[in-house]
Chain A
């Protein structure tokens, strides 16, 4: 039971970040390899506001989200907008360059120390054999609310219909008067805001170090690819699935009661995804697109 709870906590973080990426990939068709750095900037800003600046938690979180959104917007204007209409693979390289620049910025401003937003302030809850903190519970609930809000937006608003139309057929959507450039900006910035939320989530639940940016990006993209790329719900499910695999890989006894060492947790999940994609390259939850 504890493993399932741990999986839910880790999966919520992955879902938060991968969900935004799935929308970006669906609408723009590009990958943003600076995602981990964007999440770190959101988290580090919240830490700076709450720690050294001694602001209350809520304004610090809002500040982190705001700065994450602004940096994502700059990322879009500098590394995606000038390139993605020429070739959708160009942003793959430009965001790699941007990730280096952001890494340098993070190291210069926040330095290479682990940063935790809540130090010794957590409140734990014991329910029989299961133990979790109230902050973790809040984070899981906030993620659920976020995902529900995105689902409502996608399926019950005209903006959501425009997004779905662009995902299904970008040219047809444009010919119907949908402003793709506005939509692209909004969706990209939204993905950065979700990433910043993920960074703040990590800063509250564990701690933030500059070295985690890259594995975060890759795990989020592994969820997007395993889920079927432009399938939002597939991505969310894949994010939770990867997190559960990571927890059960090292938390449950395998052959003759032996445990896999914790250090291999990430490897097991990545190898599982690679094997799955070798068997089904289109992803676990891929679907047929409408064609004429």
Chain B
């Protein structure tokens, strides 16, 4: 039973960040490859503040400020660079952030991370934690589903399909993309606030490049831009990831086998959707 609750918790905690990234990369077709960089900043800002003040309220306030600032930085990069340049440089920015956190160990804890993170009041038991994160995840899914079908969703899609035509129709790219990045930032904050208190630790390995590939895989497998599709793929892939633990293999083989499985899934997902992943611009 506890294992099932654990899987539900992991899925519910993962969803806000993945769906935020799906809004930017999947729906907006913006090659923002730095969502894990935003997560890292949100997590460290929140939990360093929590350690200093002991107040979750202050920690969340500071964490959300930093998450929004980091999102604004990546949005600014996206306005200045063309898509592939943004893809590479957002990864470069992510690497630079990791490097700073790793080397500024007197402040961030370096490779050891931030240990002994207390949980929020009333979230000590697994059932309460599961109910709380599941409720938040469901609210987030509904919010993004409504957003996807609103004028904002249509404007974001129009910009993704043909930016010039969309601009000619009066759609403000900077405003729409900035909102998308901010929503992604809030999603990153929600995931990180709960995930790290769940495991009682902020650990730098949780923000590496493989985590980003895992995000891309879930979004691509679930059909980019689709809230329900990506939710379903998150459920399936997180369950698969957790289930792989039970394969009776030594740990030094299990890690590469997991990489292999996910690499093949991502390649197969792109193969299946090769005509629809980046659809051709509509023409008359």
Contact = CB atoms under 8 A, between A and B. Distances in A.
Interface of A: 31, 78-79, 82-83, 86-87, 89-90, 92-94, 96-101, 103-105, 107-108, 111-112, 214-215, 218, 221-222, 225, 229, 261, 263-264, 266-267, 270-271, 273-274, 277-278, 281
A96 B216 contact: yes
16 contacts: A83-B270, A87-B278, A97-B267, A98-B263, A98-B267, A99-B263, A101-B264, A105-B256, A108-B256, A215-B95, A218-B92, A222-B89, A271-B96, A274-B92, A277-B80, A278-B77
A267 B76 CA distance: 19
Interface stretch (B58-66, B97-105, B131-139, B232-240): B97-105
Contacts of A31: 84, 87-88
B151 interface: no
B277 interface: yes
Given A87-B278, A215-B95, A218-B95, A263 B103 contact: yes
Pairs of residues from A and B, 9 with the lowest C-beta to C-beta distance, nearest first: A100-B263, A263-B103, A97-B266, A101-B263, A104-B260, A104-B259, A107-B256, A104-B256, A97-B267
Contacts of B257: 104
Given A90-B278, A93-B220, A263-B99, A101 B88 contact: no
Given A89-B31, A273-B89, A266 B99 contact: yes
B274 A86 contact: yes
A94 B278 CA distance: 13
B84 A89 contact: yes
Contact of B259 (A100, A264, A281): A100
Contacts of B270: 83, 90, 93-94, 97
A93 B263 contact: no
A111 B259 CA distance: 14
A48 to B, nearest CB: 17
Contacts of A97: 213, 217, 263-264, 266-267, 270
Most A C-beta atoms less than 10 A away, residue of B93, B99, B256, B275: B256
B81 interface: yes
A281 B92 contact: no
B88 A222 contact: yes
Contact of B89 (A86, A103, A225, A267): A225
A93 B88 contact: no
B84 A93 contact: no
Contacts of A89: 31, 83-84, 278
A101 B77 contact: no
Contacts of B252: 107, 111-112
Contacts of B81: 277, 281
Chain B contact patch, size range:
35 or more
Contact of B267 (A79, A104, A277, A281): A79
Contacts of A271: 96
B93 to A, nearest CB: 6
Given A97-B263, A100-B260, A281-B80, 14 more contacts: A78-B267, A82-B274, A83-B274, A87-B278, A90-B274, A93-B216, A93-B220, A96-B213, A101-B260, A103-B259, A103-B263, A104-B260, A266-B96, A274-B89
Nearest to B94: A218
B99 A267 contact: yes
A268 to B, nearest CB: 9
B150 to A, nearest CB: 27
A101 B266 CA distance: 10
Contacts of A218: 88, 91-92, 95
Contacts of A99: 213, 263
Contacts of B262: 100
B279 to A, nearest CB: 8
Contact of B77 (A104, A111, A270, A274): A274
Given A261-B103, A267-B99, A93 B277 contact: yes
A92 B29 CA distance: 13
Contacts of A112: 252
Contacts of B31: 89, 92
Interface string B127-156: 000000000000000000000000000000
Contacts of B83: 89
